[in-house]
Chains A and B, each alone.
Chain A
Amino acid sequence: MPFSSLSDIQSRLNNGETTAVEIAQLYLDRIAAFNSTLNAFVHLDADHVLAQAAASDAYRKEHGARALEGLPIAVKDIFCTQDGPTRCCSNILEGFEAPYDAHVITKLKEAGAVLVGKTNMDEFAMGSSNETSAFGPCRNPWDTDRIPGGSSGGSAASVAAALTPAALGTDTGGSIRQPAALTGITGLKPTYGRVSRRGIIAFASSLDQAGPMAGNVKDCAMITAAISGHDAGDATSVSDAPAIDWLAACETQDMKGLKIGKPKEYFVDGMDAAVRQSVEAALQKCEELGAEIIDISLPNTEHAIAAYYVIAPSEASANLSRYDSVRFGHRCDNPEDLLDMYTRSRDEGFGSEVKRRILTGAFTLSSGYYDAYYLKAQKVRTLIQQDFIQAFEQVDVIATPTSPIPAFKLGEKTDDPLTMYLSDIFTIAVNLAGLPGLSQPCGFASNLPVGLQWIGPAWREDTVLAAAAAYEGATDWSNQHPAEFNINGGES
């Protein structure tokens, strides 16, 4: 303590050393001590957390432990939860109480997890720094003047400061992997279709995917094993997804025979020199562990950001049309007529980044522009997928930096939206191709964490987890924690 893995906590619960209530209280104390500094949680009902923990202890006594029995997990404010508010960190969802749990929330509950609060995020997951949240920015535990990354910034900060041992995030263009990289934790975006999107507030439906953020590779695997699987309630959840042994993959200790692709498009001028060094050193370590590093090319990478910033806003503008102030959400005072009600409620409820994306999407889908932008972007997306398919004929897995730069300062990139968009350069192609991607810590740049990204073929999360587990076992990066938070919570 305080930095314990889910497996550690699980062992202590299983051998009767502690209880779920004790564990929950310990993390609640840490949240009470540190959340005012970090703003990682935007909603927390401590009594409800303790009630879930007590129920878990009772279940264990009567029936034995389920897969995540008594383990505290924080969830991003994008997941619909029946207990308490779901806001997606937007003012437009003021007063919204979800009438049902997201499928993944139901799965976590069925596995015995104790759900802890709602974590901060960019409004509607649109952002890379957590600065667009209606609840104010979240801060990076490694340097509280800096952003934790986004959009799952609150989940990342919570894990990095041990306010919870793990959290759920979502990833549309890097929103799990980039904040994981910038806060020195591990995060997995599963293959598109592996995890149900039902009850996850939609941003870009062909890209969104939920996944775990935790202190190590195995903890990510434990959570993904629990939340994945076909859901008839989500037509894009794939029913014949190849099953994999999530935990066995994490026992891998070497990389003998593993072919790792190193794409030249991901090692470019303009990226931070220390980030590049850390990732190059990580690849050297992989060679020592028996891997073969193969230079590859993903030639359409340069178009990924452009394709993404057509496709994601287009889908967002359609998805966010549901916020009409009729069925739920904020309504303006004294609307003159229906049009005034729609336009003013949406002006008041949405923040500026969300408006920018809705307008971008409305433009690229509008009459006369659809073919030139949206359809063209979806064709370029096919080319990006084909790059990966060809690469995976040669290699088992691809390794890249997760982010070209370490965490930047709050406010540093808010003036120019395009500069902010360009910071997603290494994560976006993975979403466009629907592939699994994982970020894990691999070093530091000026005392700020650097992330190593693993990209696997569709449905081969096991290959990604195995490579990451072997690297983690051979290095000490996952055991580094920000000093300011590496103290016992209740005592501060």
Chain B
Amino acid sequence: MDIDVKKVAMLSRIRLTDDEAAELGPQLANIIGYVEQLSKVDTDGIEPTAHPHDAAMPLRANIVTNGNRRDELQASSPKIESGLYVVPKVIE
């Protein structure tokens, strides 16, 4: 299995240096090569697992319970100004 590591890294939004890509490439190929054995299992008519106990998704009332905690929630952000998250300019 040939894997385009740089492409997968871009899908994952992770920069890889050439050294990292050279190391990760064969490792990924090795892992994917191993899991390839799944293709030999006969799964005709078998439903994929969605929840281990087939539990139904519960509903709850749509009520705000946690109040306005903006300052606390933003306290861990790398860059905040006037309550807004600051990132590099997106549109020229």
Interface residue from A326, A327, A347, A380 paired with B41 (Cβ < 8 Å): A380
Q: Are B43 and A383 in contact (CB under 8 A)?
A: yes
Per-residue A-contact encoding for B4-19, CB less than 8 Å = 1, 0 else: 0100111111111100
Q: Are B31 and A376 in contact (CB under 8 A)?
A: no
Q: B19-64: which have CB < 8 Å to A?
A: 20, 23-24, 27-28, 30-32, 34-39, 41, 43, 46-53, 55, 57-58, 60
Does B83 touch A at the CB level, under 8 Å? no
Q: Are A382 and B48 in contact (CB under 8 A)?
A: yes
Q: Are A99 and B49 in contact (CB under 8 A)?
A: no
Q: Are A193 and B52 in contact (CB under 8 A)?
A: yes
Nearest Cβ in chain A — how far from B61, in angstroms? Answer: 9
Which of A238, A239, A363 is most buried by chain B, counting CB atoms within 10 A of its CB?
A363
Per-residue B-contact encoding for A376-406, CB less than 8 Å = 1, 0 else: 1111111101000000000000000000000
Contacts of B31 in A (CB 8 A): 309, 356, 360, 417-418, 421
Main secondary structure of the interface of A (DSSP, over half): helix
Q: Are B14 and A355 in contact (CB under 8 A)?
A: yes
Does B81 touch A at the CB level, under 8 Å? no
Nearest Cβ in chain B — how far from A211, in angstroms? Answer: 15
Q: Are A97 and B47 in contact (CB under 8 A)?
A: no
Q: Are B88 and A303 in contact (CB under 8 A)?
A: no
Contacts of A362 in B (CB 8 A): 8, 11-12
Contacts of B90 in A (CB 8 A): 337-338
How far apart sit A373 and B12, CA to CA, in the bound complex (Å)? Answer: 17
Contacts of B14 in A (CB 8 A): 343, 346-347, 350, 355, 358-359
Q: Are B34 and A366 in contact (CB under 8 A)?
A: no
Q: Are B69 and A434 in contact (CB under 8 A)?
A: no
**CB contact under 8 A between A379 and B8, given known A95-B76, A340-B88, A343-B15:** no
Q: Are A373 and B47 in contact (CB under 8 A)?
A: no
Contacts of B53 in A (CB 8 A): 191-193, 238, 434, 458
Does A96 touch B at the CB level, under 8 Å? yes
Contacts of B24 in A (CB 8 A): 352, 355-356, 359
Q: Are A192 and B43 in contact (CB under 8 A)?
A: no
Nearest Cβ in chain A — how far from B79, in angstroms? Answer: 7
Q: Are B34 and A306 in contact (CB under 8 A)?
A: yes
Does B77 touch A at the CB level, under 8 Å? yes
Q: Are A366 and B11 in contact (CB under 8 A)?
A: yes
Contacts of A458 in B (CB 8 A): 52-53
Q: Are A206 and B51 in contact (CB under 8 A)?
A: yes
> B44: nearest residue on chain A (CB-CB)?
A379
Q: Are B52 and A356 in contact (CB under 8 A)?
A: no
Interface residue from A326, A329, A385, A433 paired with B85 (Cβ < 8 Å): A326
How far apart sit A378 and B35, CA to CA, in the bound complex (Å)? Answer: 13
Nearest Cβ in chain A — how far from B88, in angstroms? Answer: 5
Main secondary structure of the interface of B (DSSP, over half): loop
Q: Are B28 and A193 in contact (CB under 8 A)?
A: no
Q: Are A206 and B52 in contact (CB under 8 A)?
A: yes
How far apart sit A336 and B57, CA to CA, in the bound complex (Å)? Answer: 42
Contacts of B79 in A (CB 8 A): 331
How far apart sit A341 and B90, CA to CA, in the bound complex (Å)? Answer: 11
Q: Are A417 and B43 in contact (CB under 8 A)?
A: no
Does A321 touch B at the CB level, under 8 Å? yes
Interface residue from A337, A366, A372, A381 paired with B88 (Cβ < 8 Å): A337
Q: Are B87 and A326 in contact (CB under 8 A)?
A: yes
**CB contact under 8 A between A331 and B15, given known A359-B9, A380-B41, A433-B52:** no
Q: Are A366 and B8 in contact (CB under 8 A)?
A: yes
Q: Are A310 and B38 in contact (CB under 8 A)?
A: yes
Does A236 touch B at the CB level, under 8 Å? yes
**CB contact under 8 A between A379 and B13, given known A309-B35, A373-B38:** no
Does A335 touch B at the CB level, under 8 Å? yes
Interface residue from B48, B60, B77 paired with A326 (Cβ < 8 Å): B77
Contacts of B16 in A (CB 8 A): 347, 355
> A458: nearest residue on chain B (CB-CB)?
B53
Per-residue B-contact encoding for A297-328, CB less than 8 Å = 1, 0 else: 00010010111011000000100010011111
Interface residue from A324, A344, A356 paired with B28 (Cβ < 8 Å): A356
Does A1 touch B at the CB level, under 8 Å? no
Closest 7 CB pairs between A and B? A434-B52, A378-B48, A331-B78, A343-B15, A379-B43, A328-B76, A347-B15
Residues in chain A within 8 A of chain B (CB atoms) = 95-97, 99, 191-193, 206, 232, 235-236, 238-239, 300, 303, 305-307, 309-310, 317, 321, 324-331, 335-344, 346-347, 350, 352, 355-356, 358-360, 362-364, 366, 372-373, 375-383, 385, 417-418, 421, 432-434, 458
What are 22 A-B pairs with beta-carbon distances under 8 A?
Answer: A95-B78, A99-B69, A232-B60, A236-B55, A306-B36, A324-B13, A326-B87, A328-B77, A336-B88, A337-B88, A341-B88, A343-B13, A355-B20, A355-B24, A363-B3, A363-B28, A364-B32, A366-B11, A379-B43, A382-B46, A417-B27, A433-B52
Besides A193-B52, A303-B38, A335-B88, 5 new A-B residue pairs in contact (Cβ under 8 A), listed by A number: A235-B57, A338-B88, A350-B14, A352-B24, A372-B39
